[in-house]
Structure 1
Amino acid sequence: MPTQERTKIMGVLNVTPDSFSDGGRYFDHEAAIAHGLRLVNSGAEIIDVGGESTRPGSVRVDEDEELRRVIPVIRELAAAGAVISVDTMRAKVAEASLGVGAHIINDVSAGLSDPTMLTVAAETQAPVVLMHWRGYLDRVSASFHYDDVVAEVISELKTRIDEAIAVGVEHGNIILDPGLGFSKNAEHNWQILAALDDFAELDHRLLVAASRKRFISTLLSPEDPMLTPEAAKDQATAAITALSAKAGAWAVRVHEPTTSAIAAKVVDAVAAHGRPAGAPVRPAGAAVRPAEAPVPPAEGEA
């Protein structure tokens, strides 16, 4: 496993009219830039800028429109000092975004949508997020069938890792995302979250992206997930951030950074105060002697 650092907060910035959570709120460039800066001020260390929705039923935009949406926003936020990842499945959009200041490629298709994406990552030496997804399938049920979701997702991610390394992506530049909500139902998502330690053992940085997804809403409001308040979804997301941080995740992708940043900070503080491996365990009920107190002599030693 890579050396553990404090889990980073990646803030979501959708420059789209139709994303599932906040589509249309930041479609205007000025509104998007202002929100990106708010995310930074609220604790986000990375801003993930996307110009194309991947919600179920969404229609793909053309390349020129995606570029029009994201490039001005990335340029301005990068100029302000923000660390930017670009959420795209197109190699040309990734390359253009890196050219105006983006630092990371976040490809939900892991290079399957555009076969030149991994080559761009290799040539630019940019870190690249490879997310598990079985793509836009005509039969939705087919995308949800797993005999063992954890084992199969790990196996399919390993295939994408091999493809990336084969075209020259450096091992240390690969970040994995198990793809919560993509080609998975609620039960699959919870199983993956229960097995985050297994993903963290893959020897690559791990990104967990659960924020405001439907499986959270179905947990909180099973009768009608659409009625789940946004604040409640963000609170549940912060709990998942804590679980992810405890498992050693490199980052979590969230819409509301403040509560997740606090959760990650608490987990980091607990980890920093843990007992070193091999340290003796004090018996229950044993008195704790102040370090500076003199040790009384044993009987007969005076």
Structure 2
Amino acid sequence: MAEIFGILNITTDSFSDGGKFLNPDIAIDHGTQLLQEGADWLDVSGQSSNIEATLVSEEEEWKRVEPVIRHFVPKGVRISLDSFRPEVQRKGIEAGVRCINDISGFTYEGDRSFLSSYTKKHQDLKLIIMHSHNKNIAKKTSNLTPEKVVRKIQTFFRDRRSDLLAMDIPESALYYDPGMGFFLSQDPMVSFRVLKDLEILKLEFPQLMVGVSRKSFLGKVLGELPVAEREFATLACELHLLRFKIPFIRTHNVLKLRQAEKIWNLCQEME
């Protein structure tokens, strides 16, 4: 069974839900709903990463996520912090976050020496290395092609793994996200090639996280489908992830995925 990360964006400009959850009380209510729907983790972000996003200060990013983290951690809720800034990551871990989801693949400037001691102190701490063709915020253009993308991702993962292991971080703490949509390319076929070749990635990097929820590549192949109308496309794609037994799936609509997962599993049992 996949562990589901319910997306909680506390931002003004996330592509799907920017501005909806800036109020801490509303964010906490939405997080509670995601948990009730079956989320194993809340993936909390205070800095948007879509192509139109602007960078907020580290202080503002932490100000957005701190009340949510402080509310849920004492209740035993597992929190993943979606942040690429080392200082925000450090504050999150000290506040009880047990997963750092870094869209830069831990390449953003800053001192990360604390990760070694924290992964030893907290043996359940997970570090998600997202393949970062663009370093942090997604870009509109890319030179990745369907033919080259999987090899590029493999090389990136190997390099980042090597660097983090050299920092004395245990390999068991490392998870991997190939990045999808504009994180890869404006060409939707690049993302679909990654989905087709998930088994290749899993052979070397079995601890995978994949997030396809409402992504641009789904809308593009369906005639520029608006974000709000991508739920069926998202679910079809997430069923593909279940088929490949991807251990971590990141999604906006937890209930939809949990219901589909239950039906999927019952169908498999009938074979």
Shared fold by TM > 0.5? yes
Would you say 1:39 and 2:34 are equivalent positions?
yes
Q: Give the paired residue count.
A: 263
The one-letter amino acid of 1:18's match is D
- SS of structure 1 residue aligned to 2:129: strand
Q: Which of structure 1's runs of 4+ aligned residues deviate more than 6 A?
A: none
Q: Is contact 1:84-1:102 (8 Å) kept?
A: yes
Matched, 1:183 2:178: no
CA deviation map 1:48-93 (0-9, x unaligned)? 0000000103111111111111111111022233210000011111
2-side partners of 1:52 and 1:179: how far apart?
A: 17
What is the aligned partner in structure 1 of residue 213 from structure 2? 211
User: Can you list the C-alpha shifts for 1:79-137, whole angstroms capped at 9, x where unaligned?
Assistant: 233210000011111111122221100000011113434x3332211210000112259
Q: Among 238, 242, 262, which residue is 2:239 paired with?
A: 242
Whichever residue aligns with residue 233 of structure 1, its letter is: R
Judge conservation of contact 2:85–2:110 (CA < 8 Å) in 1. no
**Helix, strand or coil for the counterpart of 2:208?**
strand
**1:194 maps to which residue?**
196
Task: Give the 3-state SS of the residue equivalent to 1:211 in structure 2.
Answer: coil
Post-superposition shift, 1:250? 1.0
Instruction: Determine the structure 1 residue equivalent to 2:3.
Output: 8
5+ long unaligned stretches in structure 2 = 120-124
Does residue 124 (structure 1) correspond to residue 121 (structure 2)? The answer is no
Tell me the equivalent position of 2:122: none
Structure 1 stretch displaced more, 235-244 or 82-91: 235-244
Q: Report the Cα distance in structure 1 between the residues aligned to 2:42 and 2:140, rounded to whole angstroms.
A: 33
Cα 1:161–1:115 change in 2 (3 A) is farther
1:282 is aligned to: none
Say whether 1:71 aligns with 2:72. Answer: no
CA distance in 1, matches of 2:141, 2:114: 31
Residues 74-83 or 64-73, more deviating = 74-83
**How far off its partner does 1:234 sit?**
2.1
Specify every segment of 5 or more residues in structure 1 that has no aligned partner in the other structure, as ranges. Answer: 1-5, 275-302
RMSD of equivalent CA atoms = 2.2
1:139-158 equivalent positions in 2, closer than 5 A: 143-146=142-145, 147-158=147-158
- Measured at CA, do residues 142 and 15 of structure 1 come closer, stay the same or move farther in structure 2, by a change above 3 Å? closer
Q: 2: CA distance between counterparts of 1:191 and 1:198?
A: 11
Matches within 5 A, 1:109-120: 109-117=104-112, 119-120=113-114
Partner Cα distance (2:266, 2:171) in 1: 29
CA contact (8 A) 2:103 2:135 kept: no
Structure 1 position 38, deviation (Å)? 0.4
What is the CA–CA distance in structure 2 between the aligned matches of 1:96 and 1:168, rounded to whole Å?
A: 20
Identity %: 27
The one of 51, 62, 83 aligned to 2:57 = 62
TM-score (norm 1): 0.81
Residues in 2 aligned to 1:75 and 1:267: alpha-carbon distance in whole angstroms: 36
Q: In structure 1, what residue type is equivalent to 2:116? A: A
Pair 120,68 (structure 1): closer, same or farther in 2 beyond 3 Å: same
Q: Residue 242 of structure 1: CA displacement?
A: 1.6
Q: Describe the shift of the 1:180–1:148 C-alpha distance in structure 2 as closer, same or farther (beyond 3 A).
A: same
Distance 1:251 1:79, change over 3 A: same
Which of these two proteins has the greater Rg computed from alpha carbons?
A: 1
Structure 1 155/77 Cα, relative in aligned 2: closer, same or farther at 3 Å?
same
- Between the aligned partners of 2:57 and 2:31, the Cα distance in structure 1 is 24
Alignment TM-score, normalising by the size of structure 2: 0.89
Q: What does residue 134 of structure 1 align with?
A: 133
Structure 2 CA distance, aligned partners of 1:218 and 1:203?
28
